């Protein structure tokens, strides 16, 4: 029925099957939107946040999804920026559209959740109006909106590639022009989002009265600024690859060449190794030099349920281990190992964003202070789940109606 909209020469599932899937997603989104409306009307008291945990699941999810969505800017940077110098990176054009869409959904989704997170959403624009140049959050606000706009601009030409839209001449010209300028946007976006990741890291790192989060740094930026960038560019492509692989599994098709995955695992392996080495160096300096200066021992930071296992999982299990596996060429041969490593990397980044947000706040700073535990409520989970459903929805629609994968046709010739 919707044949006319589907890209030429590819097969898609039947409309009713697709419709059911969309309905499921829409229901989840509806649920999240309902929860969001409740939060806006009844205020944040419906969440699990409190005066101890000013930040919680919303921020954790935002930080995580933005880090994982970083595949977009970094792939863009590699493809549009570096492939001139490293032709091997040209391979990435096979997945770049997907990367852009993942970035787009992650950023717009995160923005929607941010709207719920602030107590006075109607004053959200004060961030531009009364900007405090010292605040990392100001950087975040500026970068996130600018980059979201860039992502929209990057997404538009992909949308315009739709068969029907492409048939309209002026639209086609417009799309093509945009596409030609894409390198500029990609690079602008790269700068913005590099900076943005950094500021997100800075948000925690500058809290000089929160020894768990506080880091010294370079110029005005704490080390977390750079670590966040590194961890994002290491995990972003991994996440894009994971998304792609999941789509392959769901659609039972080959969407990209294996070589793309291999390239990505090389990139991830290298970056992750660099990141995790620096992260370990940072952790050692923080645990044994910085913290004692502030009067804290490593043991002061970890108590059930936020125990040492978090540190171990984040750095060893989800850092060192996948770094080793992905750097070894034998590891890269094995699909299972590659995607498990990607998954671990993503989990590691999520844990990192979680501890930098929630554990920072759980750790008592005053010696007579209590150790509190944060339990998010359904009003926090629902919008987050809805955000993920929204990501899936956009991806599904894009996959069905837009030519995302240039190699799809060749890889799935009907025999």
Which positions lie near other proteins, rule CB under 8 A?
43-45, 49-55, 117-127, 129-132, 134-138, 140-141, 203, 206-211, 292-297, 300, 360-361, 365-369, 372
Instruction: Tell me the CA end-to-end span of the chain in Å, nearest whole number.
Output: 24
Q: Nearest distance from residue 336's CB to other proteins, in Å?
A: 40
Strands 221-222 and 217-218: antiparallel
Q: Nearest distance from residue 146's CB to other proteins, in Å?
A: 15
Measured between alpha carbons, how far is 66 from 9 in angstroms, rounded to an integer?
34
Residue 71 or 198 with smaller CB distance to other proteins: 198
Least Cα distance to 267 among 104, 83, 102 occurs for 83
Residue 317 or 373 with smaller CB distance to other proteins: 373
Residue 52 or 93 with smaller CB distance to other proteins: 52
Q: CA 412 → CA 3, 4, 407, distances in Å?
A: 18, 20, 9
Q: Nearest distance from residue 365's CB to other proteins, in Å?
A: 4
* Angle at which helices 335-354 and 57-68 cross, to 10°: 140
Say how many residues make up the chain.
Answer: 415
Measured between alpha carbons, how far is 114 from 99 in angstroms, rounded to an integer?
22
Residue 26 or 46 with smaller CB distance to other proteins: 46
Q: Nearest distance from residue 24's CB to other proteins, in Å?
A: 30
Residue 207 or 244 with smaller CB distance to other proteins: 207
Q: Nearest distance from residue 159's CB to other proteins, in Å?
A: 15
Q: CA 118 → CA 24, 125, 129, 130, 259, distances in Å?
A: 29, 11, 16, 16, 44
Residue 8 or 293 with smaller CB distance to other proteins: 293
Phi and psi torsions of 212, nearest 5°:
-65, -40
Residue 155 or 212 with smaller CB distance to other proteins: 212
Least Cα distance to 197 among 134, 110, 259 occurs for 110
Residue 35 or 234 with smaller CB distance to other proteins: 35
> 202 Cβ partners below 8 Å, 6+ apart?
136, 139, 221, 222, 224, 225, 228
Measured between alpha carbons, how far is 117 from 99 in angstroms, rounded to an integer?
27
63, 117 Cβ separation under 8 angstroms: no
The DSSP letter of residue 398 is: H
Q: Nearest distance from residue 103's CB to other proteins, in Å?
A: 23
Both tokens assigned to 244: 């792609």
Residue 138 or 396 with smaller CB distance to other proteins: 138
Q: Nearest distance from residue 60's CB to other proteins, in Å?
A: 13
Q: Nearest distance from residue 115's CB to other proteins, in Å?
A: 11
Q: Nearest distance from residue 206's CB to other proteins, in Å?
A: 7
Residue with tokens 């989800």: 318
Question: Which residues share a beta bridge with 217?
Answer: 222
Give Cα 198 distance to the centre of its chain. 13
Q: CA 388 → CA 25, 65, 394, distances in Å?
A: 9, 9, 10
Give Cα 149 distance to the centre of its chain. 16
Q: Nearest distance from residue 36's CB to other proteins, in Å?
A: 15
Residue 206 or 345 with smaller CB distance to other proteins: 206
């Amino acid at each position: 029925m919707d044949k006319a909209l589907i890209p030429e020469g590819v097969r898609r599932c039947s409309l009713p099957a697709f419709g059911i899937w969309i309905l499921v997603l829409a229901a989840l989104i509806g649920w999240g939107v309902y929860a969001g409306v409740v939060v806006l009307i009844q205020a944040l008291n419906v969440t699990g946040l409190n005066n101890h945990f000013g930040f919680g699941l919303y921020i954790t999810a935002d930080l995580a999804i933005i880090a994982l969505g970083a595949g977009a800017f970094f792939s863009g940077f590699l493809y549009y920026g570096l492939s001139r110098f490293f032709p091997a990176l040209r391979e990435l054009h096979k997945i770049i559209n997907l990367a852009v869409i993942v970035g787009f959904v992650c950023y717009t989704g995160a923005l929607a959740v941010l709207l719920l997170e602030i107590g006075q959403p109607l004053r959200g624009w004060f961030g531009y109006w009364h900007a405090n140049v010292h605040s990392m959050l100001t950087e975040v606000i500026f970068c996130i909106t600018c980059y979201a706009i860039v992502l929209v601009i990057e997404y538009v030409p992909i949308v315009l590639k739709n068969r029907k839209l492409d048939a309209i001449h002026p639209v086609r010209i417009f799309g093509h022009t945009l596409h030609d300028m894409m390198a500029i946007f990609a690079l602008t976006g790269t700068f913005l989002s590099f900076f943005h990741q950094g500021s997100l890291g800075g948000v925690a790192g500058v809290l000089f009265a929160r020894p768990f989060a506080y880091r010294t740094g370079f110029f005005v930026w704490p080390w977390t600024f750079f670590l966040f960038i590194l961890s994002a560019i290491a995990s972003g492509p991994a996440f894009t690859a994971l998304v792609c692989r999941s789509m392959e599994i769901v659609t039972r098709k080959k969407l990209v060449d294996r070589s793309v995955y291999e390239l990505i695992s090389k990139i991830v392996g290298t970056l992750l190794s660099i990141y995790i080495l620096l992260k370990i160096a940072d952790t050692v300096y923080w645990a044994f030099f910085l913290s004692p200066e502030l009067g804290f021992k490593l043991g002061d930071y970890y108590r059930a349920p936020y125990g040492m296992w978090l540190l171990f999982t984040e750095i060893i299990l989800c850092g060192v281990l996948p770094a080793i596996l992905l750097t070894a060429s034998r590891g890269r041969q094995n699909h299972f190992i590659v995607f498990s490593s990607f998954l671990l990397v993503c989990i590691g980044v999520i844990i990192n964003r979680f501890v930098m947000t929630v554990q920072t706040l759980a750790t008592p700073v005053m010696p007579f202070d209590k150790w509190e535990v944060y339990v998010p409520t359904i009003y926090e989970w629902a919008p987050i789940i809805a955000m993920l459903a929204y990501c899936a929805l956009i991806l599904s629609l894009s996959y069905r109606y837009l030519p995302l994968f240039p190699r799809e046709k060749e890889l799935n010739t009907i025999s």
